[in-house]
Amino acid sequence: MTYLKSAVDAKYYTPLVADIVGLIHVQGGILNSVGSDIRMLDHFQMGPNLVRGFAPNGIGPRDLNPFGTNDALGGTKYWGASAELQMPFWFLPKEVGLKGSVYADAGSLYDYKGPTSWAATNEINVAGCVPSTRNPVSAGTCTGLVFDNGNVVRTSVGVGLIWASPFGPLRFDYAVPLTKGANDRVQQFKFGGGDIVLSSIPGRTATGGMAQPAFFEQPPLSTLADIATLTKAHLADPSRGGNRSGGWLHWKKPARCTSHFSTT
C-alpha cells in the first residue's frame, strides 16, 4: 500500500492593543494514491482540531446505512482557517495566568476515495442500485457502502478560557456551529491543551520573533539587596547588592534576655 500524504499547519501571533494578541491559524492537507488503492484508515479524520464545535471525527464523509453504525469515513482533502483574539482578565493578577479568547473557525473535509464494495461479504454496489436512506429509513438495494461526500463548509464561533497552569497550558472551549453537514456530529464543549506564546526568557523570543506582549512577561527576579531588606539581613559585600545570584547574606540573631531568681 503506497500513498503520499501532505499537510501544512501554520499559526501567526501578533500583539494588537491593550495586551490583546491576535492569532491567525491556517491548515490544509491532501492524500494521493501512488499506484494502488487508498484504504479507509489512511484517510484524514477531522473534528474540533479543524473546526471547534464538532465532535472528534465529526466532520466529513460518513456511512449512511440506517441500520449500521454511521461511522466517519474520512476524506482525502481538508482545509481550515481560524481567527482568534486572546486577552488577559484585567481584574485578575497576572500571576494567575488566566486568559480569555473569542474566535471564528471555518473548514471542510471531503472526497472519500476508499473501498465501497467487499465481494467476500456480498457487500456490492452495482450500477443502477438504489442507495439506502436515513430519512425516511430505507435499506435500498445497494448492499455496499453508501456515503455522503458533499464538500460542505463548516463554520463556528466560540469563546475559550486559557490557563497557563504549572502542568502546561490548558484550555476550555465552548463553540456553536453556524453551518454544518447533514450528518456531522456536534460537540460544543472541548477541554484540552492550549497554545501559549513563549515567556520572556533570556535567549528566547515569542512565536515568529515578535515583541513579547506584556501579560506574557515574567516578573523580574529579586536582587540580593531586595532579599536582605525583606529578611532584615545585611550583605557581607554591599557592592554585590544588585546581583541576582551569588553573594552572601548574614542574618543578625535577635538579642536574648534571661533572668534568674533566687529565694532565701
Full residue range of the structural domain in which residue 102 is found: 3-216
**Are residues 103 and 225 both part of a single domain?**
no
**Are residues 28 and 72 both part of a single domain?**
yes
Q: Is the pLDDT of residue 255 over 70?
A: no
Q: What is the pLDDT of residues 113-145, one digit of tens each?
A: 999 888 888 888 888 888 877 777 887 888 888
**Are residues 195 and 251 both part of a single domain?**
no
* 175, 188 Cβ separation under 8 angstroms: yes
Q: Is the pLDDT of residue 9 over 90?
A: yes
**Are residues 97 and 69 both part of a single domain?**
yes
pLDDT at position 138: 80
**CATH code, domain carrying 82:** 2.40.160.50
**Are residues 129 and 109 both part of a single domain?**
yes
**Burial zone of 1 (CB within 10 Å; 0-12 exposed, 13-18 middle, 19+ buried):** exposed
Which helix (H) or strand (E) is 230 found in, with range? helix 224-231
**Are residues 232 and 110 both part of a single domain?**
no
**Are residues 169 and 256 both part of a single domain?**
no
182 CB-near residues (< 8 Å, 6+ apart):
148, 150
**Boundary-marking domain end, from 183, 200, 216:** 216
**Are residues 232 and 187 both part of a single domain?**
no
**Are residues 198 and 230 both part of a single domain?**
no
Q: How confident is residue 226, by pLDDT bands cut at 50, 70 and 90?
A: confident
**Are residues 257 and 149 both part of a single domain?**
no
Q: Is the pLDDT of residue 101 over 90?
A: yes
Domain count across the chain: 2
- Cα–Cα distance between 163 and 86 in angstroms, integer? 12
pLDDT at position 185: 95
Scan for cell 457487500, then name that residue. Answer: 123
Output 29 or 222, whichever has higher pLDDT.
29
Scan for cell 538579642, then name that residue. Answer: 255
pTM of the model: 0.70
**Are residues 168 and 82 both part of a single domain?**
yes
Mean pLDDT of the chain: 81
pLDDT at position 16: 93
* Residue 139 per-residue DSSP state: -
**Are residues 225 and 191 both part of a single domain?**
no
Half-sphere exposure of 70 (CA within 13 A, CB side): 12
Q: Summarize the confidence of residues 79-97 as an average pLDDT.
A: 93
